[in-house]
Amino acid sequence: MTDGNNTNALWGGRFSGSPSEIMETINASIGIDQRMALEDIAGSLAHAQMLAATGIISSEDGAAIARGLQEIRSEVERGEAKWSAALEDIHMNIEVRLRELVGDAAGRLHTARSRNDQVATDFRLWLRTACDRIDAHLTAYQAALVGQAQAHAETVMPGFTHLQTAQPVSLGHHLLCWVEAAERDRGRFADARRRLNESPLGCAALAGTAFPIDREQTAEALGFDRPMANSLDGVATRDFALEVLAAAAICATNLSRFAEEIVLWTSKRFDFATLSDAWSTGSSIMPQKRNPDAAELVRAKPGRIAGALQTLIIVVKGLPLAYSKDLQEDKAPVFQALDDLELALAAMAGMAGDLSFNTQAMEAAAGEAYSDATDLADFVVRELGKPFRDAHHIAGSLVKRAESRGVPLSGLSLEDMQSVEPGLTEDVFSVLSARASMESRTSYGGTAPVRVKEQAERWSARLKERQDR
């Protein structure tokens, strides 16, 4: 393309001068929207085919346009396309290149459409593909977690509330929590994808067109479920992008929480897990350091991704109908946010599969801080028939006594226990261990290994079925 071209020359007789250098700079979006080149070509091919089928342009012009667009698509795929900032955006760059290839027929392509419905169509096509990529990343992340959960259904670890040791749980159970969260993330992206899968093409600038176009044909050709029913809505709305960003922000937040656990678990203070060299870095000054930098970077990603959501909300919050140039600012935050999310998902899938666990340290920690106190209270309820609040008080009194002596609950004698609750028997000691506590939680969704294995197997089957489709 010739850099001497400028968009003012394309506006026909309305403009005779050239834009200022600053105007060209602030107005150009080609550095961002060139990522939608293939989507723009796909939309143009569908539009040209429809124009020819309805007789709005000749079949000869339609065929010439199609040949030219296919050549441009090949140039893009080969990395040979050249873009000019003077031509503002991806749409005008492709149109000018098409004219170079096929001559005057190219000028007929823009019949019955505007850059307003064109960019809205491109953006939806791009986001649809991005949602599909993210779904694949989430599935890979889930598969890594499920594999670890199957291997560690019987591994005991401390469960926490307020980051204080609470009750013993299965490591597999803990990991499956993040599988469930990822599945909800998948659902949010699927919902967003379903709602965005309507075609704005044919809405034109804002009011539709007087040409006898067939919007059903172009919608079907591009894989949309239907054409959008209101032409103003078709060009003005960006709620579809907001919804994808909202899903991305929630997903990144979920990833960040597990990333924080990886940071904690791989520290020597916890010593629960180790990441291999593939997922660790060193220090420029301290030779002994082994830093979980990938997890820390994932932990930081919600700042950028939630920031992108807020950016787009502010861009669109006060815009009147229909199209305003403000909407040119919609794509940069979306592209960056979804790039960040895909990278974070790939990193988390890698780390989830890479983690090796110090099961002895986990089990030892699970038995600390009187984590079996609830099991003692449950025993009093179950065996002695006392109300739970009374049992809670009995267990709390025994914890206080054990704590004053520096021993676990199992370190108290039966006489010590009977001095607080005479009805207690030797059987109480059978529940006073981290493993016994974990194995007793057999309710649906509980942490008992038998339940964890069932859930892990269910997830393994679901993921295999998904991959086979």
Q: Give exposure, 348-365, as e/b (b: 16+ Cβ within 10 Å).
A: bbbbbebbebbbeebbeb
Contact present, 431 and 398 (Cβ < 8 Å)? no
Strand, coil or helix: 368: coil
How far apart are the C-alpha atoms of 159 and 156, rounded to whole Å? 9
The number of residues in the chain equals 469
What are the tokens at 112?
A: 């019955």
How far apart are the C-alpha atoms of 429 and 439, rounded to whole Å? 15
Q: Which among 58, 267, 276, 283 is annotated as catalytic?
A: 283
Distances (CA, A) of 289 to 25, 283, 351, 357, 384: 46, 6, 18, 19, 53
> Per DSSP, which regions of 162-257 are E strands?
164-170, 198-199, 226-227
Q: How many Cβ atoms are within 10 Å of 210's Cβ, its own excluded?
A: 8
Strand, coil or helix: 251: helix
Contact present, 244 and 189 (Cβ < 8 Å)? yes
Q: Give exposure, 80-102, as e/b (b: 16+ Cβ within 10 Å).
A: ebebbbbbbbbbbbbbbbbbebb
Q: First CA to last CA across the chain, in angstroms?
A: 44
Active site residue 283: yes
Residue type, 196: L
Helix, strand, coil tally for the chain in percent (to 5) = 70, 5, 25
Cα-based torsion angle of the residue sequence 91, 94, 96, 101 in order, rounded to the nearest 10 degrees: -160
Strands 356-357 and 273-274: antiparallel
> Per DSSP, which regions of 348-434 are E strands?
356-357
Contact present, 250 and 292 (Cβ < 8 Å)? no
Residue 160, beta-bridge partner list: 165
Which positions are catalytic?
Answer: 162, 283
